[in-house]
Amino acid sequence: MGTMTDPILLLASTSPSRAKLLRDSGIAFDQLGSEVDEDAVVSEAGLTEPSEIALALARAKCEAVAALPQAAGRLVIGCDSVFELDGQPLGKPYTAAVARERIGQMRGRTGHLHTGHWLIDTRSPDDGGTGLSEGALAGADVTFAAMTDDEISAYVDTEEPLWVAGSFTLDGYGAAFTERVDGDLHAVIGLSINTLRQLAGRAGVPVRRLWGREA
């Protein structure tokens, strides 16, 4: 359960990239991962649109963590990213073979990275809680370099692209192969700080409170 000394924000993720974004933005937070079966969520809802998938998974993760005792008295934020190419959603490839095939399709082209955000206010009314449960999308167009076959193999060999949406990152080895980003850079890395500010504001929490500099 949250205490007066806990940060008000609880990140429903164990992602190092999302945690670094928050830290670099001066935001105080704790982390708690969810145990959501992503494939089951998408299948049961019958979702096919990349943006809908990203938002539904962000909500599922947020709701799973918000239901835990440790989340009481907090703002819980959940996120999920889905890359769209030719209208098709590309999640985590998991295997080297899938990653190699996807990156081969992506090289020299532009796709769109959707990041869904969902925020739940678990604070009681006596503590200023609003009961807010709301989501928002952010994202950007990402243009990739015309990678050679050797470069694709070298990147896949790092294993970095196996566990990330769209088989690429902007804050790791994948940065070498990203030519252009048009949109919210933070959303492509995994969490839009601006979107978080907006959602927290709708729960009556100004960004200065997220910074941990003011009670």
Catalytic positions, please? Answer: 80
Specify the 3-state DSSP secondary structure of 138.
strand
State the CB neighbour count (10 A cutoff) for residue 34: 21
| Dihedral sign of CA atoms 163, 168, 169, 175 in order | positive
Which string of b and e fits 15-24 if b means at least 16 CB within 10 Å? bebbbebbee
CB-CB contact of 61 with 36 (8 Å): yes
Q: Which two tokens stand for residue 196?
A: 């978080």
Specify the 3-state DSSP secondary structure of 31.
strand
Residues 6+ away with beta carbon under 8 Å from 60: 34, 36, 38, 41, 78
Residue tagged 């492509």 (tokens): 188
CB-CB contact of 122 with 179 (8 Å): no
List, in sequence order, the alpha helices (H) in the chain: 16-24, 38-45, 50-66, 96-106, 149-157, 185-189, 193-202, 207-210
